[in-house]
Amino acid sequence: MADDPFALFDTWYAEAKAAEVNDPDAMALATSDLLNEPSVRMVLLKGHGPDGFVFYTNEQSRKAREMSETGTAALLFHWKSLRRQVRIEGFVERVYSDEADSYFSTRSRDSQLGAWASDQSSPLESREHFEHRFDEIKAQFEGRDVPRPPHWGGFRVVPNTIEFWSDRPHRLHERRQFFLTQGGWDERLLYP
């Protein structure tokens, strides 16, 4: 048994990057609002380590609002080709501005412009309206660098529970759950 869930995640993640045809970085992000109404969507992992799992988004989106309200979230990686899953639960914190700036600068120019043009999760009157807005933003930043919008940033899910699920024949799956205690990480097996 490994005693470091982050080392085990690094191993599994490296194997997923080698084996998964599409988006080994894709993870389901589950949030809820103050009325406990759940919501889930796919986001992309952009950084990870013992301090948590990082992704970026519009801070005015539904997911960002819900994480800000509750301070919690859950993640799920499903690597079908490896027949594995990793579940992560914990609290949420914003990444530092310089970290968000650094990542934003690596995005394609059109993705940077899209971050300015989109009022993510808000009602949209028509696709044409959004495309027109994108063209206006593109003209506005013509010939110069696109700065990170003030409403766009990163979130880090800091885990208190990490579960590693491995498929086994006859639904006799293996589930290894790491949970945070005052003394560090403990591990237990769960029935499938």
pLDDT 10s per residue in the chain (192 long)?
A: 557 999 999 999 999 999 998 899 999 999 999 999 999 999 999 999 999 999 999 999 999 999 999 999 999 999 999 999 999 999 999 999 999 999 999 999 999 999 999 988 889 999 999 999 999 999 999 999 999 999 999 999 999 999 999 999 899 999 999 999 998 999 999 999
Annotate 50-70 with DSSP letters as a single string: TTEEEEEEETTSHHHHHHHHH
Q: Which of 79, 80, 81, 43 lies closest to 157 in space, CA to CA?
A: 43
User: What local confidence, expressed as pLDDT, does residue 124 receive?
Assistant: 92
User: What local confidence, expressed as pLDDT, does residue 150 receive?
Assistant: 95
Q: What is the pTM of this model?
A: 0.93
User: What local confidence, expressed as pLDDT, does residue 21 receive?
Assistant: 85
Which tokens hold the place of 177?
């759950």
171 catalytic residue (yes or no): yes
- Tens digits of per-residue pLDDT, 116-149? 999 888 899 999 999 999 999 999 999 999 999 9
Which tokens hold the place of 149?
């919008």
User: What local confidence, expressed as pLDDT, does residue 52 receive?
Assistant: 98
Helix (H, G, I), strand (E, B) or coil at 100: helix
User: What local confidence, expressed as pLDDT, does residue 2 receive?
Assistant: 58
Which tokens hold the place of 58?
């519009």
Q: Which of 171, 175, 176, 188 is catalytic?
A: 171
Q: Which of 163, 55, 153 lies closest to 98 in space, CA to CA?
A: 153
Q: Are strands 174-181 and 72-79 parallel, antiparallel or unpaired?
A: unpaired
User: Domains, the chain, ranges and CATH?
Assistant: 5-105+150-190 (2.30.110.10), 106-147 (no CATH)
- Give the separation between CA 188 and CA 3, rounded to whole angstroms: 11
Which tokens hold the place of 161?
């529970």
User: What local confidence, expressed as pLDDT, does residue 120 receive?
Assistant: 87
3-state helix, strand, coil in the chain (%, to 5): 30, 40, 30
Residues 130, 124: contact at Cβ < 8 Å? Answer: yes
User: What local confidence, expressed as pLDDT, does residue 60 receive?
Assistant: 93
